[in-house]
Amino acid sequence: MVREPGRVLTQVRVYTGIHTPHRNAKQHGQMQRRMIAWVAESPETVEIFPRSLRYGIGRPPQEKGVDVELAIDLVALALDNKFDIAVLASADTDLVPAVKFVTDRFADKTVVTLAYEPIEGCTCPAALDLPSGNVDRRAVTQRDFNRIADKRNFYESASDVSAGLDPARVERIRRRYDH
Amino acid sequence: MICIAYANQISASKASDMNVPDSSTTRRTILFVDYQNMYRSAREAFGWESEGGHFGNFPVRTASGARWCASLDVC
């Protein structure tokens, strides 16, 4: 797509599952540090929406409700006219109805779907690619990804990732992610 | 209808946290990241399933977030 002038990135909203501290303390800790680091880097812009993973017998932990929460927010923020362009980084086809609602209802809004350009022979999920006129698809190649990759190690509990962030907000984040 | 009513309710509680200007002169862009979905997708798409767990983390960090947005030409 052609980049339009006057675009302003006003918010980054991250939806994710997170291990509970009882079931997987190491993964929980690294994810919590990762999320705090994101917020610390831009407290006015980044908002995190974590949900505890669900554990079953004989299967890997699963996310529950993450896609629904994202879909509701996409629709709600469109209804409230909080964005002109929504960049949606997901290949989850469960989000298609929400994207379709936004683009059908609001002719002045654009949804950009962002997904990875697979290597040859990959059987991975296809990018969201809707026929609607206000949906643009942007493929991220492996070269793109390597250029922007975040290679920090959040397993080191000693690293202080909350420097510069309001301690009250750090505490609020920790409490929120510890339920 | 119920879904829209619920969406309105949710947005009322969340929109207050947001620093999103209401402006007609700029194209306000919000990035929605389905983090685990993008992590799994990257590992599958780029053949990293047998690599270390740090391969495929979506680069949310916002200093670079703004950069990557621009570099990918999406915002």
pLDDT in tens, A23-60: 888 888 888 888 888 888 888 888 889 888 889 888 88
Measure Cα distances from A56 to A61, A62, A65 in Å.
7, 8, 16
Asked whether residue A111 carries a pLDDT value surpassing 70, the answer given is: yes
Residue A75: pLDDT band with limits 50, 70, 90: very high
**Residues of A whose CB is below 8 A from B4:** 75, 79
Scanning B3-62 for CB atoms below 8 A from A yields: 3-4, 6-8, 10-11, 14-15, 17-22, 25-38, 41-42, 44-47, 54, 57-62
Its sign, for the CA torsion B64, B65, B68, B73, is negative
Which of A72, A154, A161 has the most B C-beta neighbours within 10 Å, making it the best mutation to test the interface with B? A72
**Residues of A whose CB is below 8 A from B61:** 37-38, 41, 150, 152
Residue B34: pLDDT band with limits 50, 70, 90: very high
φ, ψ for residue A65 (rounded to 5)? 90, -5
Within a 13 Å sphere around the CA of B23, how many CA atoms are in the beta-carbon half? 14
pLDDT value of position B3: 47
Which of B14, B31, B39, B57 has the most A C-beta neighbours within 10 Å, making it the best mutation to test the interface with A? B31
Lowest mean pLDDT among A35-44, A145-154, A162-171, B23-32: A162-171
pLDDT value of position A14: 93
Compute the nearest-CA separation of A1 from chain B (Å). 8
Pair of tokens at residue A74: 């996409």
User: Residue with structure tokens 């052609």?
Assistant: A2
Measure Cα distances from A141 to A53, A67, A118, A145, B72 in Å.
29, 24, 7, 6, 10
**Residues of A whose CB is below 8 A from B59:** 148-150
**Residues of A whose CB is below 8 A from B57:** 34, 149-150
Residue A2: pLDDT band with limits 50, 70, 90: very low
Its sign, for the CA torsion A131, A135, A136, A141, is negative
Amino acid at A136: D
**Is the CB of B29 less than 8 angstroms away from the CB of A1?**
no
Non-local (6+) Cβ contacts of A74 within 8 A are A86, A88, A95, A98, A99, A102, B32
Amino acid at A33: R
DSSP string, A67-121: HHHHHHHHHHHHHTT--SEEEEE---GGGHHHHHHHHHH-TT-EEEEEEE-PPTT
- The enclosing H or E element of A12 equals strand A7-18
Chains A and B form CB pairs within 8 A to the count of 217
Which of B9, B14, B23, B33 has the most A C-beta neighbours within 10 Å, making it the best mutation to test the interface with A? B33
φ, ψ for residue A71 (rounded to 5)? -60, -45
- pTM comes to 0.82
DSSP string, A24-63: -HHHHHHHHHHHHHHHHH-TTTEEEEEEE-EEETTEEEE-
